[in-house]
Structure 1
Amino acid sequence: MLKRNISIFILLITLLIGLSFSTAFARISQEKEITLKGNVLITLTNNFQNSQNTKNYSLIMPKNENIALSADSSILEKLQSGDTVQIKGIKKNKTFFINKKTDIKTISSHERTAPIGGQGTAVLLVNFSDTVAPTNIDDSFMLTTMDTVNSYYKSNSYFATWLYSVNDIFGTSSADVYPWITLDEESMCLESDSSALTSLVLDAMIKHNIGLNKYSRIVFIAPFSQNKTCGDTVSASTLDKYWAYPSALPDNGMSFIWVDTEGVDKLVTAGTENFTSSFEAYNQIISHEFGHNFGLDNANLYSCSNLAIFPNPYGSCESKDNLDLYSVMGSKNFWHYNIAEKVALGWLTESTGTDASVHIVNENDKSFEYILNPISTDLDFDTGFKGLKIPRKDGYIYLEKRAPIGFDSDDRDYSDSVYYGVLLHYVDYKPRTLTTEILNVNNDGINESSYMQPALYIGDSITDPQTGTIISVLSSNDNETVVKVTLGQ
């Protein structure tokens, strides 16, 4: 009876959401339907104070015209940045309303490429006509910040990805930082539509006489909320890149990051965990947003009140956005990317054999013991694997080991617990945008003590109820963790 009532409740909620959008569409349906063609752009806004984010969709048309797309989430989630599409719908002011999936025709799909090699990067310090440029952020501060971000990416990628200055002929700088300029436009909130935000970047590039082909990564720093009543959004970014339509950019496009100096100051003033200084805050925020530029979604937490690993048939499991505290794609941390993210970005390889950094457990591995080395150490020091990939019916579970080395060093009271066990990350079969869920195997539900310490510890085992696979931690020290995996169905 409980399962049936829950199912009915979920069905009613789904119908209400669909009805809400259908009603909104009906109100404007008296307008004539038209067809537009262009490239999809997806942007995300991030609220680090409350670990919340919002995803926005728009269509880039000729002459960089950008119009917001509105539709049921089940329609929009099929779109990918860079896809060239033809869409039928109704245009109302600056929004284009889409009624059904069949109104979208994909002309060509964009295949995301791994961010391997140098990333030409520019930082634009931009003031508005109605704001005053902050005095605590200048060229020197941002150069130091970008050097730290560059070191972070070199370490994470095992020196496969780095940032560089296009203008520095000596190759010693991590980015070109352009000094403060003032645009003619008034300030706006980061919650504004992506059309307005991208226009700001393009206007600033024109004012600095920066060609569209010069950089692949643009970081836009401005006092967005200084004279506006805005939400708590601190930063925003393109999910993957911005491609002009039909094409005025190089094949690899440009990615954008927007950071509100006022929002960062509020985080620091409030004493938000791990944002104790402006330098620390900018390092983490920009590194997080670069992850979105590289095509990653957020790193979330998954926990169940009475079952340590999902899916729970009684609906008592919950996913929390950005609450993986052990990936920079979560929130409030500067840790390494998790193992699944590193594979997705091309920094680690995986195979069913022994020739890759991540071993895919398969039917030939009925019950084996594996040595896992820390993901923060150089590949040359490995005596085992960086991680394991264990199949499920609906996706995979990745196992990884952490150690107090480099960016994975942390003096938070609860951090020591993750060093002597393994972290488990769930990834489903969605092929285009990676969202990871760290599994809270401590079985305490969503509460502070459990989600801060989600590791499977020495002597502990867990059984996947979907497949019967058993994962056990046999031993662990700073250099390696030994796990046993007994494959189920």
Structure 2
Amino acid sequence: MTGKQPDLNEVVATATQRKEELLRVIEDNPQAFLETALTADQLADVPQEIKDRGLVEKTVQTQGKLAVIVIDDLDKQQEKLEFYLDEPTTETVEYQLHFASNEPEMLLTDTQVAASGKALGNELVLATGGNQDLQVVTQALLTEPGVTERFAVIMFNFMNDHSQPMTPTDIHRRMIDDTDSMRAYYLENSYGAIENMTADVYGYFTIPYEKNTGYCDSYTWAIAADAAAFQSGVNITSYSRRVYVFPGPNNCTGSAWATLGGNPSRMWMPGNSYTPILSHEFGHNLGLGHASFLQCSPGYSGSPLENVDCPSSEYGDPFAIMGWSQTHDHFNAVHKTFLDWFAPEQVITATQSGVYSITPIETSDGVKAVQIDLPQSVYSYYLSYRQPIGVDADLPPAITNGAQLHATPYDVYAGSRSFLIDVNPPPSLRSDAQTSTFEDGDVFTDPVQGVTITQLSHSNTEVNLNVQLNYTGCRINSPTVEISPFSQSAVLDQTVTYTVTVTNTDSPDCSASTFYVYGYYYQMDLNMDPNEFSLHPQESKTITVTILVPPESNLSLGSHTVDFYTRGNDDGRHSAHTTFDFVLTGSLGQVAINPGSIDTTVGLPPTQLSALAYDEYSRPIWSGVSYEWGMSSDNTVGTVQPDYNIASFLPLNPGSGDLWVIARYGNDFSIGSIRVTVAPSNTPQPSVAPPPSASASPTGAEPDLDGDNDMDVKDVLELVAALVSQSERADLNNDGNVDVFDFAVLVARFGR
């Protein structure tokens, strides 16, 4: 006897309810989701329509670039990281990543990764943030701070909340105009390296999302706000720094948040954010983590580093902008070193015992920090000095009477995080950040690392410290890596070879160590021979690295930066990272314009366009392409404003025409065009004359370049050849040049 089959609508309703419950579980407890997820056998019994509707989980292996967002809850002194995976060729969010264990730290936005896990909707749960489930394909590079930092401030609100928490004047004043603005703060902190900041404020725009419904979807909101600005005529792609102002509080937990690095970098400012928070979040955009404090228990023994009795307080450095940023204090010395605001000679590495003098970080001259690399730790110590100067004018005497001691870990982005250390805590009390600095006569000892530091004296211009390094055993150092040649090129299915030399730089007291080398780049076959070897101190090994791009690869033409890593079988002190270049060469196939046509009306805002070149295998070409835009029409229907591979079309007069783009890649070129139709406006509009250089002149040359009495494709080919030869007979508009405007004249008469 066969039982009654369940109604499909009932199954859909049950699956929908289950999905909603599991999405809440993912947010709160990713491990519980993995334990609850259906097995492969169970999924096989699920109706296909339920799978097609995305109502059940699935196993996913994917790759793309990360967006890493640091969410700062300054009221609760808590940090949360969010990870989004973008599709490779768009800014569309493919998944938000969740980790059941070992959430990765200090991965920068735009890092290319390969991810494997269980997905439900747009949520992807990984068992671990380690190499097994999240593999770094290419490390992102930080966008170096520029002499001028140019911001787009995009103000938006929601379909169910049209409030405007700040005015354009408010945000511009806090970022740029006030004497204590973010611009003034960074000018002083960087010693003029960031000489100026500008902020162009746009909006408010209402995005097609509701506030306080569902999950905090800030990254999607940002993309929607970018799109709204773009549709209003803002060239949003020209801004590498973007700030979003919108109503708060909302369903996001945090005072403000920002991407860790990224190009573009992004900052989210809910509500009426004050200036120090702006400066803090921009620090994250520059690649910085937080300024923390090691809060050691009374009477702890040994080293404060990697000590269970010295837990970290995330925002615990109260006198650094990346810590508890209620005040606009200077970046600490660790972070200034990371940002290259100190000259190399201003940071001394103490390799032997001696007396060291340090000048205040608020001034631009003299030694600013003493770095002490530690033989048995993944950390380095940093000594620095603070004085009540400039934005630090309100620092208390407990901080300005002596040197500060920080620690920072070794890693790919060493120096991006800092840990303040109380050098002389009271025996019966926990460490106190407010009184953490040296005073004259104070002695700090790390018996594990063999370091003893004594403050000898201080003045308002310098502090003098005696540093004793008493560790005589093995000192482990990062290896050196040399790659030759740095760059090579090849076509599909062609192998190129690099030579890499790895040298063990440990002290002679150390024994031999095992080194592993690896690299990975999506769509390449990358091989190391050998990939594992043993080296004694000062011994070197030369290995061969080969690269081949298989014919089935989707790798785009152009230059690609390949990451190369070495590491030992220890705690990371044998780690090193470098890069080399590989250039995939090929031919230009075609250029496409998006949208594929324009139908608009006189008086409407500009229509935004983009062009993208493709190779002969229909793969996009992301670099090395030049684009020339133009327009031909029967009534000067509009103008084209180009900006590399994007453009805007402004309708001026009714009529029709063709908008075109010429893409050039090496010696190849391709032409793409779309039809443009402009309808008349109900409001009378003045007729606009064409620019002289874009239309035919009565005295210009005859467009029939091949003399067959037809304006056809043969004339196009003749004109393309003349773009190189600059033949006078192809100067169709008589402006003294053969260029895209002559092409416009020919297109206007094409087929006649």
**Residue pairs, 1:86-97, within 5 angstroms:** 86-97=114-125
How far apart in 2 are the matches of 1:297 and 1:485?
28
Structure 2 contact 302–448 (Cα < 8 Å) conserved: no
Equivalent of 1:430 in 408, 411, 420: 411
Structure 1 contact 310–317 (Cα < 8 Å) conserved: no
Please state if 1:441 is matched with 2:423: yes
Task: Report the alpha carbon displacement of residue 334 of structure 1 after superposing the two structures with TM.
Answer: 1.2
How far apart in 1 are the matches of 2:358 and 2:288?
24
Would you tell me which structure has more strand in proportion to its own residues?
Answer: 2
How far apart in 1 are the matches of 2:124 and 2:316?
33
Greater Rg over alpha carbons, structure: 2
Output the amino acid matched with 2:364. Answer: D
Deviates more, 1:299-308 or 1:177-186: 177-186
Task: Report the alpha carbon displacement of residue 212 of structure 1 after superposing the two structures with TM.
Answer: 4.0
Which residue pairs with 2:261 in the alignment?
Answer: 240
How far apart in 2 are the matches of 1:487 and 1:449?
24
Structure 1 contact 127–182 (Cα < 8 Å) conserved: yes
TM-score by structure 1 length? 0.78
**Residue pairs, 1:9-28, within 5 angstroms:** 21-28=30-37
Output the amino acid matched with 1:203. Answer: A
How far apart in 1 are the matches of 2:288 and 2:323?
11
Structure 1 contact 308–442 (Cα < 8 Å) conserved: no
Deviations 1:260-318 (A, max 9, x none): 116x4xxxxxxxxxxxxxxxxx2100000001000111110102122387337873222
How far apart in 2 are the matches of 1:293 and 1:149?
14
Please state if 1:461 is matched with 2:443: yes
Which residue pairs with 2:641 in the alignment?
Answer: none
Structure 1 contact 425–439 (Cα < 8 Å) conserved: yes
Output the amino acid matched with 1:416. Answer: P
Task: Report the alpha carbon displacement of residue 430 of structure 1 after superposing the two structures with TM.
Answer: 2.1
Deviations 1:191-228 (A, max 9, x none): 71454343344234324433343111111111132xx5
Which residue pairs with 2:9 in the alignment?
Answer: none
Structure 2 contact 295–431 (Cα < 8 Å) conserved: no
Deviates more, 1:91-100 or 1:437-446: 437-446
Would you tell me which structure has more helix in proportion to its own residues?
Answer: 1
- Aligned residue for 2:238, secondary structure, equals coil
Output the amino acid matched with 1:344. Answer: F
The 1:233/1:216 distance shift into structure 2, 3 A limit, reads same
Which residue pairs with 1:63 in the alignment?
Answer: 90
**Residue pairs, 1:316-335, within 5 angstroms:** 316-331=309-324, 332-335=326-329
Equivalent of 1:298 in 279, 286, 290: 290
Which residue pairs with 1:406 in the alignment?
Answer: 390
How far apart in 2 are the matches of 1:410 and 1:191?
41
How far apart in 2 are the matches of 1:333 and 1:189?
34
Which residue pairs with 2:643 in the alignment?
Answer: none
Structure 2 contact 388–400 (Cα < 8 Å) conserved: yes
Deviations 1:370-422 (A, max 9, x none): 2211101123xx3xx111101212221101100110011116xxx22111101
- Aligned residue for 2:79, secondary structure, equals strand
Equivalent of 2:268 in 258, 277, 282: 258
How far apart in 1 are the matches of 2:469 and 2:214?
47
- How many aligned positions are there? 413
Task: Report the alpha carbon displacement of residue 179 of structure 1 after superposing the two structures with TM.
Answer: 4.2
Structure 2 contact 67–259 (Cα < 8 Å) conserved: yes
How far apart in 1 are the matches of 2:454 and 2:443?
4
How far apart in 2 are the matches of 1:398 and 1:34?
44
Task: Report the alpha carbon displacement of residue 133 of structure 1 after superposing the two structures with TM.
Answer: 2.9
Instruction: Choose between structure 1 and 2 for higher RCO, CA contacts under 8 A separated by at least 6 residues.
Output: 1
How far apart in 1 are the matches of 2:207 and 2:214?
16
Deviates more, 1:322-331 or 1:479-488: 479-488
The alignment yields a C-alpha RMSD, in angstroms, of 2.6
How far apart in 2 are the matches of 1:400 and 1:190?
46
The 1:35/1:232 distance shift into structure 2, 3 A limit, reads closer
The 1:347/1:129 distance shift into structure 2, 3 A limit, reads same
- Aligned residue for 1:102, secondary structure, equals coil
Deviations 1:417-460 (A, max 9, x none): 11110111111112226211001223249989922121111111
Which residue pairs with 2:464 in the alignment?
Answer: 482
**Residue pairs, 1:211-222, within 5 angstroms:** 211-222=235-246
Output the amino acid matched with 1:377. Answer: T
The 1:477/1:373 distance shift into structure 2, 3 A limit, reads same
How far apart in 1 are the matches of 2:164 and 2:137?
45
**Residue pairs, 1:35-434, within 5 angstroms:** 35-61=61-87, 62-66=89-93, 67-74=95-102, 76-77=104-105, 79-100=107-128, 101-134=131-164, 137-147=166-176, 148-164=181-197, 174-188=198-212, 192-225=216-249, 228=250, 230=251, 233-241=254-262, 253-261=263-271, 264=273, 282-305=274-297, 306-307=299-300, 310-311=303-304, 315-331=308-324, 332-350=326-344, 356-362=345-351, 365-366=352-353, 368-379=354-365, 382=366, 385-392=367-374, 393-394=376-377, 395-410=379-394, 415-432=396-413, 434=416
Structure 1 contact 80–432 (Cα < 8 Å) conserved: no
Structure 1 contact 188–224 (Cα < 8 Å) conserved: no
The 1:460/1:76 distance shift into structure 2, 3 A limit, reads closer
Deviates more, 1:109-118 or 1:320-329: 109-118
Gaps of 5+ in 2: 1-28, 40-56, 472-752
Deviates more, 1:100-109 or 1:418-427: 100-109
Gaps of 5+ in 1: 1-19, 165-173, 242-252, 265-281, 351-355
How far apart in 2 are the matches of 1:47 and 1:429?
27
The 1:23/1:138 distance shift into structure 2, 3 A limit, reads closer
Deviations 1:234-263 (A, max 9, x none): 10110111xxxxxxxxxxx2011001116x
Task: Report the alpha carbon displacement of residue 89 of structure 1 after superposing the two structures with TM.
Answer: 2.1
Output the amino acid matched with 2:400. Answer: Y
The 1:420/1:309 distance shift into structure 2, 3 A limit, reads farther
